[in-house]
């Protein structure tokens, strides 16, 4: 069974569903509460992974910490974020290159023959004339060419923007790691809940089978009617059918976790029922929101993108400013493999300024202004989203904790009711209707407790995510080994 420990941390307003057994009439089977992992509600790449290693014939033990470690190495969403960060780093290098000198080298040999008459150069004097054809002749040269930007405010602003974009990309990787941790934690806890349902259903089948055999014996002895046997047998078959469905759901949820964390294809594993969470001091809404705004990497990344957009707008406006540039070359030229050579050089300093651009700069300014507004809107939307997620997680945590307390009490009451119903049936005071109803009430109470405990643990995972502390905190809260 899932442990319902002290206050812990986790993300987005989880769904605090009502216990599935509530409101059911006797004879109806309990429906397991399924919580969609965050990876399935956002970027679909977080549902996949790159399988690591080779499957072994025997199941491997998999603690929650092991599952998180595997997910942080193999989850496709995280791997994609890391590659995107490399692309942003490449853009930063490209922006930096616009501020640094560009130096190239050149070495070559020139062989040339000129027709002076073709270019209008022909002189003749009495007794002397310059030939029309000069050459062929050759010379060698080796030069180094340099272009040095001295001042370009647009390039400087673009570099600052790229630096902020890289900062945002690094923070996005941290956010992706938190999302993977949350997805793994939720999927792992779902398996624990599924296993608890399977175990509870098997225990209920044993109890139903005992009632069926008792009714059969009493019928054979002539102290019970046939409908009692049929009623108890129907209840037993319904429970067996429920066990098949729950076992299938358990296997499917194990496959989902394996896909998220990149287990080898076909690898089976066993999980552990997490221990109670490490108790923490109560967290007020004000403190929780302050923690979230300070720690959420996606919020910090959004602020960095706003700053980057501001620099990009400044770069667009700076396209109107003059730019300063120096360029030139230095080398050596001569005949016969530099046996008769001399140094040569050229240096040019220039100021370039815009005279008419046909509205291109204005278009760049308008485009970057719109981008800045969008980034600011995204940041404020995220601020509101974080507020919603923290409030929802705290509400879910309190609601789930109360549900766990009520469900535990209800399980005890249902067990007492079932024991009395069995005693009355054994004594011949009542028939199997009362026993079947009491057994269903116990089954509903067990399902309510399992669902409440699952919701409580998921709420802690959600709060950790909403505070930006999922990766740092989750392993410490659920640390039992398989």
Over residues 149-163, mean pLDDT: 93
Q: Which domain holds residue 463?
A: 38-101+153-322+360-477
CATH number (domain holding residue 423): 1.20.1600.10
Inside any domain, residue 338: no
What is the per-residue pLDDT across 365-420, written as a single tens digit (0 to 9) for each?
A: 999 999 999 999 999 999 999 999 999 999 988 888 888 889 888 888 888 888 88
Inside any domain, residue 463: yes
451 vs 280, which has greater pLDDT?
451
Task: Examine the pLDDT at 26 and tell me if it is beyond 50.
Answer: no
Q: In whole angstroms, what is the distance from residue 367 CA to residue 365 CA?
A: 5
pLDDT band at 473 (very low <50, low <70, confident <90, very high): confident
Inside any domain, residue 355: no
Over residues 96-109, mean pLDDT: 90
Domains contained in the chain, number:
1
Inside any domain, residue 138: no
Inside any domain, residue 330: no
Inside any domain, residue 387: yes
Over residues 88-97, mean pLDDT: 90
Inside any domain, residue 350: no
Q: In whole angstroms, what is the distance from residue 314 CA to residue 58 CA?
A: 61
What is the per-residue pLDDT across 30-81, written as a single tens digit (0 to 9) for each?
A: 444 444 444 444 578 888 999 988 889 999 999 888 999 999 999 999 999 9
| Portion of the chain with pLDDT greater than 70, in percent | 85
> Could you tell me the pTM of the whole model?
0.78
Inside any domain, residue 367: yes
What is the 3-state secondary structure of the chain? CCCCCCCCCCCCCCCCCCCCCCCCCCCCCCCCCCCCCHHHCCCHHHHCECCCCCCCCCCEEECHHHHHHHHHHHEHHHHHHHHHHHHHHHHHHHHHHCCCCEEEEEEEEEEEEEEHHHHCCCCEECCEECCCEEEEEEEEEEEEEEEEEEECHHHHHHHHHHHHHHHHHHHHHHHHHHHHHHHHHHHHHHHHHHHHHHHHHHHHHHHHHHHHHHHHHHHHHCCCCHHHHHHHHHHHHHHHHHHHHHHHHHHHHHHHHHHHHCCCCCCCEEECCCCCCCCCCCCCHHHHHHHHHHHCHHHHHHHHHHHHHHHHHHHHHHHHCCEEEEEEEEEEEEECCCCEEEEEEEEEEEEECCCCCCCHHHHHHHHHHHHHHHHHHHHHHHHHHHHHHHHHHHHHHHHHHHHHHHHHHHHHHHHHHHHHHHHHHHCCCCCHHHHHHHHHHHHHHHHHHHHHHHHHHHHHHHHHHHCCCHHHHHHHHCCCCC
150 vs 38, which has greater pLDDT?
150
């Amino acid at each position: 069974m899932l442990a319902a420990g002290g206050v812990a941390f986790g993300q987005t307003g989880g769904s605090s569903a009502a216990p599935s057994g509530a409101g059911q009439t006797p004879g109806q089977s309990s429906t397991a509460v399924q919580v969609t992992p965050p990876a399935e509600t956002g970027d679909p790449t977080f549902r996949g992974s790159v399988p690591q290693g080779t499957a072994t014939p025997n199941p491997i033990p998999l603690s929650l910490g092991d599952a998180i470690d595997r997910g942080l190495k193999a989850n496709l969403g995280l791997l994609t974020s890391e590659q995107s960060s490399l692309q942003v780093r490449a853009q930063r290098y490209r922006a930096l290159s616009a501020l640094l000198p560009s130096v190239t080298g050149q070495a070559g040999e020139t062989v040339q023959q000129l027709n002076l008459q073709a270019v209008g150069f022909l002189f003749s004097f009495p007794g002397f004339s310059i030939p029309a054809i000069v050459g062929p002749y050759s010379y060698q040269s080796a030069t180094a060419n340099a272009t040095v930007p001295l001042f370009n405010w647009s390039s400087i602003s673009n570099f600052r923007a790229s630096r902020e974009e890289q900062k945002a990309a690094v923070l996005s990787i941290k956010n992706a790691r938190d999302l993977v941790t949350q997805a793994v934690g939720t999927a792992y806890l779902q398996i624990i809940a599924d296993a608890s349902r399977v175990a509870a259903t098997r225990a209920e089948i044993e109890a139903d089978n005992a009632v069926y055999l008792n009714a059969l014996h009493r019928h054979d002895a002539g102290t019970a009617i046939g409908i009692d046997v049929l009623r108890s047998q129907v209840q037993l078959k319904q429970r067996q059918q429920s066990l098949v469905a729950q076992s299938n759901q358990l296997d499917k949820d194990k496959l989902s976790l394996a896909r998220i964390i990149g287990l080898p294809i076909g690898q089976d594993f066993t999980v552990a029922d997490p221990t109670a969470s490490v108790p923490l001091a109560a967290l007020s809404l004000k403190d929780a929101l302050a923690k979230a705004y300070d720690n959420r990497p996606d919020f910090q990344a959004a602020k960095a993108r706003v700053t980057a957009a501001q620099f990009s707008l400044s770069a667009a406006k700076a396209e109107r400013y003059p730019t300063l540039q120096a360029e030139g070359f230095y080398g050596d030229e001569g005949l016969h493999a530099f046996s008769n050579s001399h140094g040569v050089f050229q240096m040019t300093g220039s100021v370039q300024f815009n005279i008419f651009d046909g509205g291109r700069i204005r278009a760049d300014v308008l485009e970057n202004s719109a981008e800045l507004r969008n980034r600011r809107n995204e940041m404020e939307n995220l601020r509101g989203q974080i507020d919603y997620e923290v409030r929802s997680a705290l509400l879910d945590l309190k609601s789930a904790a109360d549900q766990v307390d009520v469900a535990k009490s209800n399980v005890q009451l249902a067990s007492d009711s079932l024991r009395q119903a069995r005693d009355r049936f054994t004594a011949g005071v009542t028939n199997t209707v009362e026993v079947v109803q009491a057994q269903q009430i116990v089954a509903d109470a067990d399902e309510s407790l399992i669902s409440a405990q699952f919701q409580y643990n998921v709420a802690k995972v959600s709060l950790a995510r909403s505070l930006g502390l999922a990766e740092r905190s989750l392993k410490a809260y659920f640390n039992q080994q398989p």
